Structure 1
Amino acid sequence: MYKLRGHHLFCLLGYRGMGYSQEYVENMTIVHQTLRKNPKTLVQIVKGPDHLCEKYPNNGKYHCEDGSIFERDTLILEKVGIRIGNILRWEDIELRIKKYVIPSDIQTVCESCSWRSYGVCEEGIQEILDGKGLREVN
């Protein structure tokens, strides 16, 4: 079971093998590919730093404890109707995204995210809506 915070549910949709450090990318790729290959994998929703934050580089201010990140977590969890502490299969999270989210939601719920300008999260949401699941990352 992976422990994930709210905004990482969307980050995983847009993940294309880029990240904050090599260690972070390796960790995110493992989580992403596990969920892609086994959508029945359980995910527990947590408040604050999660499995992905564990590998965030320690190079100054700890991004994972920033107030704006907690706000983004809350917005995304509200959008998909999931609460902190919930344990769901990844495929059920994808179903909630399919039901409650559209690509343009990224522009508001992830407004301050530095990765938003790449457009990959909107693509990831569209792929979920199209029934494709998570994209394979090489």
Structure 2
Amino acid sequence: MFKLRGHHLFCLLGYRGMGYSEEYVKNMTRLHQTLRNNPKTLIHIVKGPDQLCEKYPNSGQYHCQDENIYERDQAILEKIGLKVGEILNWEDVESCIRKFVVPSDIQIVCKTCSWRSFGVCEEGIQEIHEWKGLRKVT
């Protein structure tokens, strides 16, 4: 079971092997590929820092505790109809995304995200709608 906060549910959709540090990328890739290969893997929705935040580099401001990030978590959970404390499998998360999210939602709920300009999260949502699942990261 992985513990994930709200906005990381969208980050996983757009993940293409980039990140804040080598350690962060290794952790994100491991988690991402586990979900890709085993969509029945359980996810526990948590408030605040999660298993991806654990590897965020200690180089300056720790954005995982930033109020803006908490607001993004909540906005995304509301958008996909999930709540903190829920436990469900990854394929159910994908189902909620197909049901409640369109690619253009990224422009609204993730408007302050520095990764948004890459456009990969919209692509990830579109691929979920097309039943492709998470993209393989090489």
Q: How does the TM-score come out when normalised to structure 2?
A: 1.00
Q: How does 1:50-65 map to 2 (within 5 A)?
A: 50-65=50-65
Aligned to 1:17: 17
SS at match of 1:44: strand
Deviations 1:79-108, CA, capped at 9 Å, x for gaps: 001000000000000000000000000000
Following TM superposition, where does structure 1 have runs of at least 4 consecutive aligned residues deviating by more than 3 angstroms? none
SS at match of 2:16: coil
Aligned to 1:75: 75
Aligned to 2:46: 46
Q: How does 1:1-138 map to 2 (within 5 A)?
A: 1-138=1-138
Query: 2:132 & 2:41 partners in 1: Cα distance?
Result: 17
Give the % identical residues. 72
Shift in Å, 1:60? 1.4
Query: Unaligned 5+ residue runs, structure 2?
Result: none
Query: 2:96 & 2:81 partners in 1: Cα distance?
Result: 8
SS at match of 2:44: strand
Equivalent residue letter for 1:47: K
Deviations 1:35-92, CA, capped at 9 Å, x for gaps: 0000000000000000000000001111100000000000000000100000000000
- Name which of structure 1's ranges 59-68 and 8-17 shifts more when overlaid on structure 2: 59-68
Equivalent residue letter for 1:13: L
Q: How does the TM-score come out when normalised to structure 1?
A: 1.00
Query: Unaligned 5+ residue runs, structure 1?
Result: none
Equivalent residue letter for 2:83: R
Size of the aligned set, in residue pairs, is 138
